[in-house]
Structure 1
Amino acid sequence: REFWGDKSEMRRFKDGTIHEAALWTSSPCQSSRRLVCKNIVQYVLQRHCGIPRSSVHYMTGKLDLLLHLNLPKDGNQNYGTGEEQSLAVIRAYDDVNRTVRALTTLPLSIHSVQGIHPVFRHSDVFPALPAPLVKDEANIVSGHVMPEEGILPQFVPALSVICMLESSGKWPEEPEAVKCLKALFHIKMGKELKEKHLLPVSVHKTHVDVLKGGFVFRLKMANTRELAVLRTVKSDSGMIKFRETDEAAALEKEIIALPHLTSLLHGLHQEHPAYSATVRLCKRWIASQMVWDLLREEATELMVAYMFISPHPCTAPADPGVGLMRFLHLLSSFNWKADPLIVNLNKEFLEQDFSDIPRDFTKNRTTLPCMCIATPQDKTGTKWTRPSPSESHLQRLILLARESLKILDKQMMTEFASSDLKMIFRPPIENFDLVIRLLKKANVVCHQSVDGRHEILTSSGDKSSSDNQPVPVTEFNIVRKFLHDLQSIFGDIAMFFHDPFGGNVIGMVWRKQQLDKKDFKPSLFPYRKPVIGENEVISLEIQKESILDDIRILGGGIVECIEHPQRSSCC
């Protein structure tokens, strides 16, 4: 009591013992618990040395702001840095899991249910918030929520869940027939969930959306038999062969690899509570550099997992800021060309694997992608790094990581009192040829931006009341759709970059090889005009203005202006 003063008090613990104890935080948020050491240091220095709290600079938690959301002050949610929100989603998922396993009307039983959305790996940058309740029944038509005229609906993510069916020899042999049969399973599932379990559902050919606790879970039926069907190829002579196809590889990732990875990373989070905030902060940095599409989420998650599994010579990170610095160091200093990154998930590697994997990597280096991350389930290390990143994209990531680490290290060590730690999360847009500025009203996730100050509406009151609501508009993000259209229409002419978490600009870079004059061919006519060169040779030249005009038309109601970042003027 002499040392701790008023902080010390007599407390009775659950085992019945009574001790002197000092309580430092009553908040359930993980972000508050990480600051206990800060509170202790500040209290002791002020009590015994007379040093005011404002004179003590404690760097832990300084980057937590990047994971905060601006929720209404009158709300009853304690978001913190999102860990507790992930747990809320998982609790609702557990209820859905039990309900799905109890279904009785399906022709085949469901033997496993596994979420594959990043939130189930505790790695979703901004875990889903409960969807706002629909108060006006006029907005409900045929059991579906209709958005108000002139107002974009709040973004509600669909949390994917794979429901594996038991094996059966009666599955059809044609891919389309398999898809139709799965659609019938989805109809049957949706009907029982709605009529027997009274859950709001929205049935589709490829999935069933279920609303539980304010969250939308997207249930997808799966069976390993479909993989064999997709890999079966029949020749003209009737001979059946098996070969790998892109569709089969994508399906295998979704129904086998992702559920397994999700289970392993969920277990890693149980062992290292700081993993969640660390991996989400690292993802936030990648997204803020507008290179989100250059590196798969799973690859980032495995790199962060490596830092916790093999932290030597240090201990595993206990603070997200420290974890981010180590991630930037790993990304920028690891010799990706000469070595695979070996991530010993669940300690399943044998001693022999640590010599076999590098040997096989060196032997087959010319056929492997530029980045390889080996796991016990993927010893070649190519599952999550092919086809991206490419060699040029990896070099850009390394350069960005190296420069960001220099800035962050300087800020932490010498400029901690006055530095803006968000600096490395603001990309240099002057490197783009053109910048497409977006209207704020079209950006449904503007509250997630690095400097966002927009409040987001959330469901209030009893969450069970949301189960009486219809399924809201799901996965509607008009900026994401606009970006997808740009990439599909103009992707062979230009590259587009965007921060999916509230970014208000889309960076555009012309593909240099497309700017050169091309031979006069009908296949090259779109967005090119004929020009007469030397010796009256007709060639095709890119029409930039026509492309920009079409982008403005395509982005009507979304695009504010298109400008040259070097000149800061609209074009």
Structure 2
Amino acid sequence: MKSKKADHLKRKENASQSDHADTDEGKVVKKKKKSLYAPLTRDELFTIKETESLYRSGLFRMQIDELLKEVKLKKKRNKKLDLFLHALRNCLINIPDDNQQELEFDSLSCKPDGIQIPLHLKDVQTIKGKFIFKTPTVIAVVGSYMIGTITKPIVNVDVTVEIPQECLNSRDHINARYYYRRALYLAHLAYHLNQSDICQEVQYSTMNGDPLKPILVIKAAPERFNRYFTIRLYPCINQSAFKLSQLKPTKDNIRYEFYPTIESKLNEETQRLGPPTPHYNHGILVDMSFGRHLREIYQATRQSQSLIDAITLIKIWLYQREFNKGINGLNGFLASMFLIYLLKKKKLNLQMSSYQILRIFLIQLASSDWSTNGITLAEQDNSNIPSTAEFSTVFEVVFIDSSGYLNLAANLTKISYDELRHAASSSLRHLDSSSSDVFSDLFVKKVPYFTKYDHYITLKQLPQIEKANIGQEVLEYLISRCNHLRPVMLRWLMVILQKGLNKRVKLISVMPEDISKWPITKMPPAESETVTIGLSLDTEQYSSIVEMGPSAEDSQAAELFRKFWGEKSELRRFKDGAIKEAAIWQCKNIAERRFICERIVKYLLQLHGKISPENVNYIAGQLDHTLAITYEDEKSKLPFCNNNATEDAISIIKSFNELCKQLRLLKGLSLSINTIQGISPVFRHTELFPSKPAKRFKSRTRLSDDVQFRNVAKNVLLPTANKTCPEWIPANEAVCSMELSGDWPQNAEAVQRVKSALHLEIARLLSQHYSLLAVGQTNYIDVFKDGYVFRVRVAYHREPGLIRLVENEGNELLAAELEKTTILLPQFATMINGVNEQYHSYSTTVRLAKRWISSHQLCGYVTEECIEVIVASLYLNPETYDKPGSEINGLLRFLKLISTFDWLNFPLLVNLNEEFSGSDMVEIGTDFRENRSKFPAMFVAVPKKKLNQLLTTSKLTNSILHRLTLLASESYNLLIKQLSTCASEKVDFMKIFRTPMEDYDVIINLNLENVCRFHEGIDSVVTECHSDLNKKYMPVVNFDPVEYYLKELEDAFGDIALFFYNKYGGDFIAVVWKPDAFKLQSFKVNEMYYKNIRKQGSSKKLLMCPDKESILQDFRLLGDNLVSSIESK
């Protein structure tokens, strides 16, 4: 850095001196301008060349450098930390020896006064042995602080204290004596440190969550030292304390008699052979290996700053994804050892940049398979050490250290390892993408657990070992874990779930637990029995109703299948003639098929673990209530939800396809039909509430319409002022393109007349040939078929251009609206249908997003098409995530995107159909930044430029966008919290759909009798009735009086107020006064509406100011019977 600064100053000095040069006559002569631009120095050229060859880009390098500066400790803080470490060492080496004789373990005098032993071994024989405390002599700082990879904000410094050999016995590796002796020694250290004036707080914790390995967590006294760091003190032993051969993974160092409760369940063969204790042995080996591992890492990193930086980046990557938490995590130490392995195998070299090392780390981790082919740092030709195959028989994942005896990945389970590999693969894919936000996605943004998976299972209590169907291998594992049930039963549970869910899931994950801390005066807390499991669904397989088993001819496999599936297993003949065992999950509709995984999980846990379904909290359909109409059962009077939107949409599309077929077969048309395409959201499967055929709804707050007929114009029913508001019956709109012909006129008015004639002609022919109720209008045809209304518009592709040729006021808006309906929406529908067909959860996620937007009264400011494209971006550009496989996952990602995306400085580019090129994205981004004021507050762009008109609206101002992002952030945080606590407490998932009311100035409460879409409200409960509509008459279509009222309000008062309404069953309209609404204005006669006249001081100048009371009165007059009351602040 000094050399670069010196070069910069030198260039600056040369440039300033060259501005003017003295001539012989003493005159000053100006030099040429270009002399200001000195050539690049050698160091600058080297940096540019290095960046091109070693980094993803110059920006990426700069971001890495800035991040590393941010997370590394400052030298000033290092000095204060070093000061405390010296003080701690002095305190420890000055602890006096016990002068007494050795005491029995069970003696009260063996335990320090007031201090508890931080180890609880359940259901064991009395541990026999003697103990005497000796002053520690070897104290060492280990871990990330020593090699320079420690990071903020959580600064943990690891210190080891070696237990003197005099405190140990050569047989301590048998029957947990070492672990108990270690805990006793730690208790004595805690006693003396707690009395020291250098420590503010001393607590117990565990090493990576292992209950057998307690440690001390020390906070320095703030009056003498800083409080930003925490010291973690680890007792350890000399690497020669025990023979390595005694701790081989297949050795049995716990005699089964040590656990009387387990002994009775072991069969004779297991008792004769003695179950191996690999995890027990592993824990002792770890305490013998601190020094050796530190030396190996230090030897590798001292020659390469890039390797140190790469380890730091990997630690950040792990931390942001919560992979470093809990006993089954991948911490910075294991990642460092893997890099050493890659160096040894010459996959890395020390001349690489930190970016290159990170990239190779991800590549090698993603492509590795330690569960099948373990790796080792030991010499391969050493026949005295255990083989990799020997490790693989007792460990799920194998990575052996240089000693040949210690499995560094002993605590990694197969599922946690697969999760790591998958995350590495996803990050690598994102690293290679053209996204401009790769750095932030990899290192800055946190990836909470509840955004990574599609479904979640939360158990309040783990299966009890006495009740569960467990085998001998589980009991052996229980002995190796010293009778700690949680890791044992989790392993058993994973086997059951993996076998039962099979191909329905891609990944299964256990949510890591935070490592507990507790006072040194108390016993260790009981093991947590609550567990949360995440499921990443295979969207092609998860809803299958058949779990195929083996052929009936394979009797052994068939017997195992029947034993696993119980009464669900049955012998079936399939269409291909095969006779096989199978488990069948019958479903009434598509909605039920989405929850087959839930049924499987609850069934198997009850069958094999004796866990009742009530104790299994399965998180999948908790938000379904928001997408369904709530009915009241006429007999029981209890509410129930019926979420059949998918079937309803399919029914509409099926009826529409039949109509299309009938239209194409019409004979006698002047022009033949070319294409017919639906443009309403229902045809894209994104309509929140697809219309239902011939249904009426009533509630206690709204009377049903018992009148058979309203006013009739020809064969069309009309709304009547003195009658109840008619039912909401939407028109499902479609565009019909006729054949291209030279007979089309070249005049906009004539084209409109031709279209009107075609509408009338098509309606007549449909009535004649198919007896359909069809009504032709100037701009469309309404067809009543199967209880649905389809509105078909004839389109002529040149019509918008012809309208623009006529220079009349309003023609541009008319042409734009026509172009939107007849050209843009069909194109948009095609693109969105492509996304929907590819991703099964897309449509439900869109519906949830629309429900959330509208529930916060913002559907008038964010278009439906914009919501659909934003949700599509979650699937097309999932960043480092998987594509959402469920609607809950999709909604969380939607809320996170809305709340965290930098809408001010970047456009959201959604590459539908992969039609954006890299240069297109750069060009749009550059144009956006250079001309920001010309773009809307929220700019979402798709490849077809004209389609962007559908996605933006000038009504969405910066202030409304700010509210939207705040609401999204709060909803996201609340939903994450609810998902994490719903197993232990009752939560209301509807909270995120209830908007805060305190920011509104006026609330216009609506009369529910005239709110035709009341049944779509979240809290509405209705009774379904069959319609008495006569099929001879076209029902009232697209009539929503609240929408008309809202438009009138905006037209009349849009200059002083903003209006907010939830079109899906909202029962109020909210009003916010604009900031300048009630400021005095100059008097103008033509702007006197709802204003009072005032004089400006002593002058005669007249001013006017809006009168709030008059405005509120006008609100009521405009609404008439639609308004029940008005509340104003």
Task: Show the counterpart of 1:292.
Answer: 859
- Residue among 670, 682, 689 paired with 1:126: 689
- Map 1:105-254 → 2, pairs under 5 A: 105-132=668-695, 141=712, 142-145=714-717, 150-233=723-806, 245-254=812-821
- Map 1:343-382 → 2, pairs under 5 A: 343-378=910-945, 381=948
Asked whether the equivalents of residues 332 and 398 of structure 1 are also in contact (C-alpha less than 8 Å), the reply is yes
Asked whether the equivalents of residues 171 and 225 of structure 1 are also in contact (C-alpha less than 8 Å), the reply is no
Q: Deviations over 1:145-174 (max 9, x none)?
A: 466863222110011111112233444444
2-structure distance, mates of 1:386, 1:249: 14
2-structure distance, mates of 1:103, 1:205: 20
- Map 1:276-315 → 2, pairs under 5 A: 276-315=843-882
What are structure 1's unaligned runs of at least 5 residues? Answer: 236-242, 461-465, 567-571
- Residue among 409, 420, 427 paired with 2:995: 427
| Closer/same/farther in 2, CA of residues 450 and 533 from structure 1, 3 Å limit | same
Task: Show the counterpart of 1:36.
Answer: 596
- Deviation of 1:218 after TM superposition, in Å, equals 0.4
- Residue among 598, 607, 621 paired with 1:47: 607
Task: Show the counterpart of 2:1014.
Answer: 446
1:103 aligns with 2:666: yes
Asked whether the equivalents of residues 111 and 166 of structure 1 are also in contact (C-alpha less than 8 Å), the reply is yes
1:7 aligns with 2:580: no
Task: Show the counterpart of 1:559.
Answer: 1123
State the secondary structure of the residue aligned to 1:278. helix
Moved more, 413-422 or 129-138: 129-138
Asked whether the equivalents of residues 634 and 1023 of structure 2 are also in contact (C-alpha less than 8 Å), the reply is no
Asked whether the equivalents of residues 436 and 507 of structure 1 are also in contact (C-alpha less than 8 Å), the reply is yes
Moved more, 521-530 or 102-111: 102-111
Asked whether the equivalents of residues 199 and 467 of structure 1 are also in contact (C-alpha less than 8 Å), the reply is no
1-structure distance, mates of 2:884, 2:618: 16
Q: Which amino acid aligns with 2:802?
A: V
Moved more, 494-503 or 18-27: 18-27
- Residue among 1053, 1068, 1071 paired with 1:490: 1053
Task: Show the counterpart of 2:617.
Answer: 57
Task: Show the counterpart of 2:449.
Answer: none
Q: Deviations over 1:57-96 (max 9, x none)?
A: 1111100110111357589x99525111111110011011
| Closer/same/farther in 2, CA of residues 362 and 334 from structure 1, 3 Å limit | same
State the secondary structure of the residue aligned to 1:3. helix
Asked whether the equivalents of residues 361 and 380 of structure 1 are also in contact (C-alpha less than 8 Å), the reply is no
Q: Which amino acid aligns with 2:855?
A: S
State the secondary structure of the residue aligned to 1:114. strand
- Map 1:68-107 → 2, pairs under 5 A: 68-71=628-631, 79-107=642-670
2-structure distance, mates of 1:41, 1:511: 54
1-structure distance, mates of 2:1013, 2:811: 38
State the secondary structure of the residue aligned to 1:164. strand
- Deviation of 1:539 after TM superposition, in Å, equals 0.9
State the secondary structure of the residue aligned to 2:737. strand
RMSD: 2.7
Task: Show the counterpart of 2:253.
Answer: none
State the secondary structure of the residue aligned to 1:512. coil
Asked whether the equivalents of residues 113 and 164 of structure 1 are also in contact (C-alpha less than 8 Å), the reply is yes
Q: Which amino acid aligns with 1:321?
A: I
Asked whether the equivalents of residues 1061 and 1068 of structure 2 are also in contact (C-alpha less than 8 Å), the reply is yes
- Deviation of 1:413 after TM superposition, in Å, equals 1.3
- Deviation of 1:125 after TM superposition, in Å, equals 0.6
2-structure distance, mates of 1:459, 1:314: 47
- Map 1:370-409 → 2, pairs under 5 A: 370-378=937-945, 381=948, 383-409=950-976
Asked whether the equivalents of residues 61 and 319 of structure 1 are also in contact (C-alpha less than 8 Å), the reply is no
What are structure 2's unaligned runs of at least 5 residues? Answer: 1-561, 697-704
- Deviation of 1:7 after TM superposition, in Å, equals 1.2
TM-score normalized with structure 2 length: 0.47
Asked whether the equivalents of residues 72 and 457 of structure 1 are also in contact (C-alpha less than 8 Å), the reply is no
State the secondary structure of the residue aligned to 1:210. strand
State the secondary structure of the residue aligned to 2:770. coil
Moved more, 149-158 or 121-130: 149-158
2-structure distance, mates of 1:185, 1:379: 28
State the secondary structure of the residue aligned to 1:413. helix
1-structure distance, mates of 2:933, 2:874: 27
The alignment-based identity, stated in percent, is 36
Higher relative contact order (CA 8 A, sep 6+): 1
2-structure distance, mates of 1:406, 1:88: 37
Question: Whose Rg is larger?
Answer: 2
2-structure distance, mates of 1:467, 1:559: 31
- Deviation of 1:381 after TM superposition, in Å, equals 4.6
- Deviation of 1:189 after TM superposition, in Å, equals 1.3
| Closer/same/farther in 2, CA of residues 558 and 145 from structure 1, 3 Å limit | same
2-structure distance, mates of 1:250, 1:379: 12
- Residue among 824, 838, 852 paired with 1:271: 838
Asked whether the equivalents of residues 625 and 641 of structure 2 are also in contact (C-alpha less than 8 Å), the reply is no
| Closer/same/farther in 2, CA of residues 25 and 317 from structure 1, 3 Å limit | farther
- Deviation of 1:380 after TM superposition, in Å, equals 9.0
Task: Show the counterpart of 1:507.
Answer: 1070
Q: Deviations over 1:200-223 (max 9, x none)?
A: 012211111001111100011111
Q: Deviations over 1:386-440 (max 9, x none)?
A: 4342222222211111111111111111245411000011111221111011112
Task: Show the counterpart of 2:1034.
Answer: 471
| Closer/same/farther in 2, CA of residues 459 and 15 from structure 1, 3 Å limit | farther
Q: Deviations over 1:288-312 (max 9, x none)?
A: 0001111111010001111122223
Q: Which amino acid aligns with 1:66?
A: T
- Deviation of 1:181 after TM superposition, in Å, equals 2.6
State the secondary structure of the residue aligned to 2:951. coil
Asked whether the equivalents of residues 855 and 995 of structure 2 are also in contact (C-alpha less than 8 Å), the reply is yes
1-structure distance, mates of 2:1043, 2:1016: 14
Q: Which amino acid aligns with 1:22?
A: A
Q: Which amino acid aligns with 1:549?
A: Q
2-structure distance, mates of 1:556, 1:59: 45
The count of residues paired between Structure 1 and Structure 2 equals 551
2-structure distance, mates of 1:486, 1:192: 42
- Deviation of 1:336 after TM superposition, in Å, equals 1.9
TM-score normalized with structure 1 length: 0.90
1:328 aligns with 2:899: no
Q: Which amino acid aligns with 1:555?
A: G
- Deviation of 1:187 after TM superposition, in Å, equals 1.1
